[in-house]
């Protein structure tokens, strides 16, 4: 008998607003670094849902903590105190050295918070004309209008004009260009330490340090978007901690609750200038997502995943460098881009999927690796050999 039931792709096309180009696979289950499709095929996940499932899919400790919290208290709003929210803020303070936290719901809303906070700081400390945010070309800060205005990708911005004003972009790693762009109207400079969506492009350490000095000299805030690079991804809790700089404001999301939606904007006490009513969210910092995040931080700590991240990074980098067709491997920690000798990342990505390996063609010639931080030595070797086979 012929099966005439619509496929999941047909049902999706008929019912979901079409903004995503999806790979032809439907996942139904995950376990550690593995994902399983509806036919029971397994895949080695070296993408982690774009740098999210850092402590592994279906992590037992996170699941247990969330399940307990689900039967206790799910939501009350930010009109009241809840314990996990304050505990998570305290943990993030201790780990980051920053003083205050605002909980948002994703990377874009964490960045909206940072932008609004920087504007408020500019207004309060330097006057109403000080509201501009200078960011970088090829950056990515999210899809809400202000985050998009800060995103240095004209193609993504074009169809949504007019975007909010007060945003300027300059080339990365060019301190003179930044120097020229920062003026009396500038409230903050906002950058990723490694531009993930831009193609896994690490900013030079010298440049980042010069940026910090420039911000100090001109009296503007340095905002680091650590949405993708934060929470262990680069081998330290926060990506700036290995780079000799400290931000005034930093944003987090992706890996913080291992797949539950959360965002956070961290700030020094000096920059935390919101007044009551300046900003808010119904869901932000709710008991379930903050409980999940606390369990994630415990997992990273107890399983020494920062050390594993650094070891697997060295292993994967040298192994991928040796793959014929790879010209270089760039990035930090387990946020790596394998640059190919020709613009065939999409084909390689497709071949990898057929070989049971999940990656992402982040640009035409660069394949991104962001595996879970729990990836083992054997799994990293398996990833490299499956990748090598996909290039052949």
Ligand X SMILES: Cc1ncc(COP(=O)(O)O)c(C=O)c1O
Which active-site residues does the annotation give?
140, 225, 254
Closest distance of CB 281 from ligand X, Å:
13
112 part of the interface to ligand X, by CB under 6 A: no
Per 3-state DSSP, the chain is made up of helix, strand and coil in percentages (nearest 5) of 40, 20, 40
Which CB sits closer to ligand X, 107 or 331?
Answer: 107
141 part of the interface to ligand X, by CB under 6 A: yes
DSSP symbol at 185 = T
Closest distance of CB 277 from ligand X, Å:
24
Cβ-count burial of 18 within 10 angstroms (0-12 exposed, 13-18 middle, 19+ buried)?
A: exposed
- Gap between the Cα atoms of 232 and 238, Å rounded: 6
Spatial CA neighbour of 238 closest among 192, 283, 184: 192
Cβ-count burial of 96 within 10 angstroms (0-12 exposed, 13-18 middle, 19+ buried)?
A: buried
- Cβ count within 10 A of residue 326: 19
Closest distance of CB 125 from ligand X, Å:
26
Closest distance of CB 383 from ligand X, Å:
21
DSSP symbol at 78 = T
Question: Site for ligand X (CB under 6 A): which residue of 192, 299, 365, 379?
Answer: 192
Which CB sits closer to ligand X, 113 or 186?
Answer: 113
H or E element: which one contains 8?
Answer: helix 8-15
DSSP symbol at 165 = S
The residue whose Cβ lies closest to ligand X is 107
85 part of the interface to ligand X, by CB under 6 A: no
Tell which positions 204-233 bind ligand X, by CB under 6 A.
225, 227-228
**C-alpha of 73 from chain center:** 28
In the three-class reduction of DSSP (H, G, I as helix; E, B as strand; rest coil), residue 255 is classed as: helix
107 part of the interface to ligand X, by CB under 6 A: yes
Question: Site for ligand X (CB under 6 A): which residue of 32, 49, 196, 287?
Answer: 196
108 part of the interface to ligand X, by CB under 6 A: yes
Question: Site for ligand X (CB under 6 A): which residue of 140, 237, 274, 369?
Answer: 140
Q: Segment near ligand X (CB under 6 A), from 61-69, 106-114, 294-302, 307-315?
A: 106-114
List residues near ligand X by CB under 6 A: 50, 106-108, 111, 140-142, 192, 196-197, 225, 227-228, 253
């Amino acid at each position: 008998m012929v099966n005439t039931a619509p496929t999941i792709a047909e049902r999706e096309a008929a019912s979901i607003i079409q903004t995503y180009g999806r790979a032809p696979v439907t996942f139904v289950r995950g376990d550690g670094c593995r994902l399983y499709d509806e036919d029971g095929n397994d895949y080695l996940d070296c993408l982690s849902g774009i740098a999210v499932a850092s402590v592994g899919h279906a992590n037992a400790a996170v699941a247990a903590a969330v399940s307990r919290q689900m039967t206790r208290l799910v939501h009350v709003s930010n009109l009241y105190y809840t314990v996990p929210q304050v505990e998570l803020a305290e943990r993030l303070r201790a780990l980051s050295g920053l003083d205050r936290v605002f909980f948002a719901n994703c990377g874009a809303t964490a960045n909206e918070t940072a932008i609004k906070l920087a504007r408020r700081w500019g207004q309060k400390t330097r006057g109403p004309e000080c509201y501009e945010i200078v960011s970088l070309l090829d950056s990515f800060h999210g899809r809400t209008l202000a985050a998009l205005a800060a995103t240095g990708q004209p193609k993504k911005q074009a169809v949504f004009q007019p975007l909010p004003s007060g945003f300027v972009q300059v080339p990365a790693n060019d301190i003179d260009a930044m120097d020229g762009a920062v003026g009396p109207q500038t409230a903050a400079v906002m950058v990723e330490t490694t531009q993930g969506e831009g193609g896994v492009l690490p900013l030079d350490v010298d440049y980042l340090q010069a940026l910090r000095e420039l911000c100090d000299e001109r009296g503007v805030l340095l905002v680091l978007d650590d949405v993708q690079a934060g929470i262990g991804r680069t081998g330290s809790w926060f990506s700036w901690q290995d780079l000799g700089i400290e931000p005034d404001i930093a944003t987090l999301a992706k890996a913080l609750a291992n797949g539950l939606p959360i965002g956070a904007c961290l700030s020094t006490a000096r920059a935390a200038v919101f007044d009551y009513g300046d900003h808010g969210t119904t869901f932000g910092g709710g008991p379930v997502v903050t409980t999940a995040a606390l369990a994630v931080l415990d997992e990273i700590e107890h399983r020494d995943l920062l050390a594993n991240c650094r070891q697997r990074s060295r292993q994967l980098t040298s192994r991928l460098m040796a793959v014929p067709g790879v010209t270089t491997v760039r990035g930090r920690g387990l946020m790596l881009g394998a640059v190919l000798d020709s613009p065939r990342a999409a084909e390689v990505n497709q071949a990898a999927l057929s070989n049971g390996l999940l990656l992402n063609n982040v640009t035409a010639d660069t394949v991104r690796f962001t595996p879970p931080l729990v990836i083992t030595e054997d799994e990293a070797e398996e990833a490299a050999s499956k990748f090598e086979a996909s290039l052949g």
